[in-house]
Chain A
């Protein structure tokens, strides 16, 4: 069959688009199923009944009460508060550290800068468990010696998270600072700004989108951290992943509450991401484009 070139191309295009949409649906299916299941009863999830739960009289029943029960049974409010405090403070502290350091690395070629940036790169290769074992013992020992509690406090986890996520954010932010034209800063220097003023009045405002994007990304990373939090928090300071994991261990058949908790834990992340997705996408891919 001799179809004209453009018609053939058009047909292939439509087939690819259909395939893509099918794949999109398949990709989103688990998330949709999670939200849908959180509105069903636990036994209906366990036997795999499709569709919403029905009560004895056969009427459809949406279990909104899962979200209320979850708040009571899982003590989700506490975990949410802890996660917000820890991740927020981590974001704030780590961004201060990494903004300063990445500016220095992208603008100055000083003795030791190669050592510093290579060390930062090398930390990415080290398994997290290798930090965790000594840090755990350090924390226990520190408390024994000074009687200042640090294991199980916000401070301990915030410090560790900040130090842990700083290398990656320095890496991303360096690209943002490097993309600011040097001429702007040189002009400001000629006009009599000090190096500090140049940083504060020129570089920082120009890099703000990048700083925000990196900060959000860091927040999401900290939100997702389980291993350190499992070992270094206690009943009062545990974060959402730890809380959910404990709940799953204790109530193995309350699938409805698990799904509700999972949905609520995902919502803040989704909101943050969609508010700032343009910045995040740009920030993460900037490096790849430069290659």
Chain B
């Protein structure tokens, strides 16, 4: 993504015209953004403000009718989410947070790693290159709900393709492990997610690789650099902006992952609870199955705060890394 979006440009304050005149001069721009601004006001800004306010309300199905006039309970919801050991949302929260952290980190690293390897393999000249690239994009086109459903069946203990391949064909394991319950559940949701998302990283990294001028590599050849040195001294630094964006988006989207888990396990009895619960599924089930909207809103506000902190740290780290180089 273009970097100019990431840097706040200061408007030219030196212009002699007054603010009102500048507004008048560009009034067509305001007509153009007005519909979007209006839509965002109603469907982004207003729900967010309400959501933050709701996190201070005692809001469940009994008080739903009174909407924003539900009893104001200050930080009681936050107490329930974070501290109170008996509240339903607190019980699974620690596991959900742990799973989300593992999931996000492993999936982000996995998609980037696989994407990088395949992008390097594709960044050579060979016959049928664009066809191979298009075929590699295939998992990324498959909808995520199909991914969850399909892998849910592939992980089945007896007849699932994974166990058939590992045990019956390759004889790698002496018995068929169960993937959808117990400690293996994290792998059962991590691997499909990597499978679904690595082609996007590959596409971005490949586009980045193709912008690196050949002269750099030729110069390195003349200086006698090996392939390893060339990768670390040329490819890696040149791809840094792409890495930045991909890690940023990977962190955000994977933390908010929902579809694959829900399609694999469903909303009800089959849900793996502590083994495969993520933050989003946890909050969703608390809000729309136990109807604790107040605590759900409080948990999502906390999640947002954590996300803002992570994004800020990442921006700062990247800026520092840029200045160092």
How many chain B residues have a CB neighbour from A under 8 Å?
105
Interface membership of B103, Cβ < 8 A: no
Distance of A115 from chain B, by nearest CB (Å)? 10
Interface membership of A54, Cβ < 8 A: no
Residues in A whose Cβ lies below 8 Å from that of B245: 287-288
Query: What separation, in Å, do the CA atoms of A30 and B2 have in the docked complex?
Result: 34
Distance of A5 from chain B, by nearest CB (Å)? 11
Interface membership of A155, Cβ < 8 A: no
Query: What separation, in Å, do the CA atoms of A235 and B161 have in the docked complex?
Result: 34
Of B91-99, B105-113, B130-138, B178-186, the one with at least 4 CB within 8 A of chain A:
B130-138
- CB–CB A291/B241 < 8 A: yes
Query: What separation, in Å, do the CA atoms of A100 and B1 have in the docked complex?
Result: 20
- CB–CB B158/A241 < 8 A: no
Using known A-B contacts A30-B195, A289-B208, determine if residue A134 contacts B150 with beta carbons closer than 8 Å: no
Of A21-29, A60-68, A69-77, A207-215, the one with at least 4 CB within 8 A of chain B:
A21-29
Task: Give A236-248 as 1s and 0s: 1 = Cβ < 8 Å from B's Cβ atoms.
Answer: 0000110011001
Interface membership of A103, Cβ < 8 A: yes
Q: Which among A100, A108, A125, A227 is the interface contact of B26 at CB below 8 angstroms?
A: A108
Using known A-B contacts A129-B300, A290-B2, determine if residue A166 contacts B40 with beta carbons closer than 8 Å: yes
- CB–CB A288/B204 < 8 A: yes
- CB–CB A27/B139 < 8 A: yes
Task: Give B42-71 as 1s and 0s: 1 = Cβ < 8 Å from A's Cβ atoms.
Answer: 111011101100100001000011010000
Chain B: interface secondary structure?
A: helix
- CB–CB A224/B44 < 8 A: no
Interface membership of A192, Cβ < 8 A: no
Residues in B whose Cβ lies below 8 Å from that of A109: 11-12, 26
Q: Which among B36, B210, B288 is the interface contact of A100 at CB below 8 angstroms?
A: B36
Query: What separation, in Å, do the CA atoms of A29 and B310 have in the docked complex?
Result: 36
Distance of B127 from chain A, by nearest CB (Å)? 10
Residues in B whose Cβ lies below 8 Å from that of A134: 46-48, 50-51, 54, 297
Distance of B260 from chain A, by nearest CB (Å)? 10
Query: What separation, in Å, do the CA atoms of A101 and B287 have in the docked complex?
Result: 34
Indicate the size class of the contact surface on chain A: 35 or more
Residues in A whose Cβ lies below 8 Å from that of B2: 174-175, 178, 287, 290-291
Interface membership of A184, Cβ < 8 A: no
Interface membership of B85, Cβ < 8 A: no
- CB–CB A20/B256 < 8 A: no
Residues in A whose Cβ lies below 8 Å from that of B316: none
Residues in A whose Cβ lies below 8 Å from that of B175: none
Interface membership of B164, Cβ < 8 A: yes
User: Which residues of chain B from 301 to 320 have a CB within 8 Å of any chain A CB?
Assistant: 301, 303-304, 307-308, 311
- Using a CB–CB distance below 8 Å, which chain A residues touch chain B? 13, 16-17, 19-20, 23-24, 27-31, 33-34, 37, 45-50, 96-98, 100-101, 103-105, 107-111, 113-114, 116-121, 123-138, 140-141, 144, 159-160, 162-164, 166-167, 170-171, 174-175, 178, 195-196, 220, 223-224, 226-227, 230-231, 240-241, 244-245, 248-249, 255, 258-259, 262, 265-266, 269-270, 273-274, 277, 281, 284-285, 287-291
Of all A-B residue pairs in the complex, the 9 with the closest CB atoms, nearest first, are A48-B159, A285-B207, A104-B32, A163-B43, A287-B1, A291-B241, A108-B29, A110-B26, A134-B50
Told that A175-B1, A226-B144, A277-B134 touch, could you supply 13 new A-B pairs with CB distance under 8 A?
A: A97-B36, A101-B36, A109-B11, A110-B29, A128-B258, A130-B297, A132-B284, A166-B40, A266-B146, A281-B137, A289-B210, A290-B3, A291-B208
